[in-house]
Amino acid sequence: MLMLRSRARMRRAAVSHPSFLSRSVQTSSSEHFRAERETRRLHRRASLKSEVRKLNVVHLLIWLLVAAQVTVSHLHLVSHDTVSTPYQWEYPYLLSVLPLLCSSLSLPKNNISYLVLSMISAGLFSVAPLIYGGMEMFPVAQQLYRHGKAYRFIFGFSAVTVMYLIMVVAVQVHAWQLYYMKKLLDSWFDATQEKKKK
C-alpha cells in the first residue's frame, strides 16, 4: 500500500515538475555510464594480468634453461665437450628469478609495491646481464662468423649461437614484461586514486 502511494507521488511530481523526471533520467544514465566504464577498466586489468602471467611463464622457462646449463657444468654431470662452461653473464642472470617472484606475488592482490620492486629489479637482474652478455659473446660470435671456429658446444651446437638465440628471446620477453607491468601499474594507481576521492 505504501509502495503504491510513493509511486503515485512520484508520478504526480513527474507530471507537475518535468525537471524532476529529467534529473532522475540523467542520474540513472550517468550511473550506467560509470558502471560501464568500471567494467571496461576491470576487463582491461584482467587482460593485462593475463599477459604478464604468460610472459612470466616464458621467463621461467628461459631461467630454467640457463640454470640447467650452470648446474650441469658445475656439478660435472656431463663432460664440457657436451655442455660447455657458462658465460659470465649467466651467473647474474640467475638473479632474474627475484623480479619474477615479485611480479607473481603482486598479481593476486594488486600489490603496487611488489610490482614496482619487480620493475626495478628487472632492469638490474634481467636486462643488465643480457646487455653485458651481448658484449661478452660478441668477439666469439665474430670469430665464428669470420673463421667458422667454435670452441664451446652445447649438445653439438655452437654454444654462442644457442646462447644468442636464448638472449634474443629473453630481451623480447623482458621488454614486453616491463611494458605490460607499466600499463598495469598505471591502471592500479588510477584505481587507488579514485578510491581515495570517494
Q: Residue 159: CA atoms inside 13 Å, Cβ hemisphere, count?
A: 22
pLDDT band at 107 (very low <50, low <70, confident <90, very high): very high
Single-letter amino acid code for the residue at 189: F
- Give mean pLDDT, residues 4-29: 52
pTM for this predicted structure: 0.77
User: Residue 12 domain-assigned?
Assistant: no
Answer whether 120's CB lies under 8 Å from 100's CB.
Answer: no
Angle subtended by helix axes 18-74 and 159-197, to nearest 10: 150
- Give mean pLDDT, residues 13-19: 51
Q: Integer distance in angstroms from the first to the last C-alpha of the chain?
A: 37
Break the chain down into helix, strand, coil percent, rounded to 5. 85, 5, 15
Q: For residue range 42-62, list pLDDT tens digits in order.
A: 788 899 999 999 999 999 999
Answer whether 133's CB lies under 8 Å from 125's CB.
Answer: no
DSSP of 22-55: HHHHHHHHHHHHHHHHHHHHHHHHHHHHHHHHHH
User: Residue 47 domain-assigned?
Assistant: no
Measured CA to CA, the distance from residue 176 to residue 58 in angstroms comes to: 11
* CA 27, chain centre distance (Å): 38
User: Residue 103 domain-assigned?
Assistant: yes
Instruction: Count Cβ atoms below 10 Å from residue 12 Cβ, excluding itself.
Output: 11
Number of domains in the chain: 1
pLDDT band at 2 (very low <50, low <70, confident <90, very high): very low
Q: In terms of C-beta density within 10 A (0-12 exposed, 13-18 middle, 19 or more buried), how is residue 141 classed?
A: middle
Answer whether 45's CB lies under 8 Å from 96's CB.
Answer: no
Q: What percent of the chain has pLDDT over 90?
A: 51
User: Residue 116 domain-assigned?
Assistant: yes
Report the pLDDT value the prediction gives residue 127, as an integer from 0 to 100.
96
The boundaries of the domain holding residue 114 are 52-197
User: Residue 179 domain-assigned?
Assistant: yes
Q: Which three cell numbers stand for residue 59?
A: 621467463
Q: Which three cell numbers stand for residue 11?
A: 508520478
User: Residue 10 domain-assigned?
Assistant: no
Q: Does residue 153 come out as left (phi exceeding 0), alpha (psi in the -120 to 50 range) or beta?
A: beta
Report the pLDDT value the prediction gives residue 21, as an integer from 0 to 100.
47
pLDDT band at 116 (very low <50, low <70, confident <90, very high): very high
pLDDT band at 26 (very low <50, low <70, confident <90, very high): low
Helix residue spans in 123-158 (DSSP H): 128-147
User: Residue 91 domain-assigned?
Assistant: yes
User: Residue 27 domain-assigned?
Assistant: no
